[in-house]
Amino acid sequence: MGNENNLALNKNVAVLIGGVGGTKLASGLIKVVAPARLTFIINTGDDFCHLGLKICPDLDTLMYTLAGSVDPDLGWGMAADSTTTLESLEQNYGVEPWFRLGDKDLATHLLRSQLLRQGQSLTAVTGCLARRLGLSARLLPMCDEAMPTIISTAEQGELGFQEYFVKHRWRPVVESIRHQNCEKAAMSPAVSAALEQADIILIAPSNPWLSVAPILAVPGLRAALKRADAPVVAVTPIIAGAAVKGPTAKIMAELGLTVSAAAVAEFYAGVIDGFVNDCRNEPLPAPNLRTVRLDTLMTDTIAKAALARNTLEWIAGWAA
């Protein structure tokens, strides 16, 4: 396997990625690809303003994960963080603490908000924060414009992403999902270059509807994926008819889909050239798609690196 491993190591890998689910694969990739050759194109549909601060949950989760400072139990936020400011807001000023902001984590939001107000783009600010945290991998927001994901629900009507996800704990039944302001957004030059220069493009096992769909909705991005020389390969977020964590399976059912890897592959039709299915799933009935079955569960550090290596080696083997 040494040879293919080296092949993978010398590839430029671009990864479309969302929150906690996708970051497991990111943790694996950082072990098997030279960090400087890794570019993450990150969902910012979850971003929102809270207490006057710009919060970018998926950017931060990935940034903290790669920097080794993520809370290992939560999978997001900073490790060993406190919530003194949040408690002060509640106890002194009666502000309801529905969105958890740690004190260490607050440093990120303060600095990002300040740099954005000074006129820097989210791409530039994200690069600045990631470099200060010592990261060599490139972290790119999917676009510089705000493009909030709006969830239309049966019980609560339209909800902003964090209202749906955090305040209402993804309980309301999803009827549809839209990407506000997407007509005013555009693929950034950095994302465009990353897709052009990529040897392999992955779609992480993030929630396809909540985390990846916003990225694909950025004007120009689908066309750039089609135009790219690199193969585009998605990794299944569905294992044995369920999601490992989070609302993927629940949303699929609510949208009238079968909870299966096949339905995810179908959702990515026209975008992907290959699909990494889980070894626990049925083979995909997809004659026009390259597929492989791997262990995608990623229960620990070794399993994360193994899935990253096996996926890249499988794709590198296509050329042979």
Q: How far apart are CA 214 and CA 236, in angstroms?
A: 17
Q: Applying CB under 8 A, does 74 fall inside the site for a second copy?
A: no
Task: Check: CB of residue 185 under 8 Å from CB of residue 153.
Answer: no
Q: Classify strands 38-42 and 138-141 as parallel, antiparallel or unpaired.
A: parallel
Q: With binding defined as CB under 8 A, does residue 139 bind a second copy? A: no
* Residue 114 found at the interface with a second copy (CB under 8 A): yes
SS3 state at 50: strand
Q: Closest Cα partner for 207 from 66, 60, 64, 22?
A: 22
Q: Pick from 7, 31, 79, 113: which binds a second copy (CB under 8 A)?
A: 113
Backbone angles phi, psi at 132, to 5 degrees: -65, -30
Residue 94 or 256: the one with the smaller Cβ distance to a second copy is 94
Q: Where are the alpha helices (DSSP H) in 33-97?
A: 57-67, 84-93
Q: Which is nearer to a second copy, 93 or 285 (CB)?
A: 93
Q: CB under 8 A: which stretch of 18-26, 102-110, 198-206, 219-227 binds a second copy?
A: 102-110
Stretch that binds a second copy, among 4-12, 76-84, 153-161, 297-305 (CB under 8 A): 76-84
Q: Mark the segment that binds a second copy (CB under 8 A) among 24-32, 78-86, 165-173, 303-311.
A: 78-86
Q: Does 245 bind a second copy (CB under 8 A)?
A: no
Cα 203 to Cα 212: distance, rounded to the nearest angstrom: 8
Which positions lie near a second copy, rule CB under 8 A?
51-53, 69, 78, 81-82, 84-89, 92-95, 103-108, 110-111, 113-114, 117, 129, 132-133
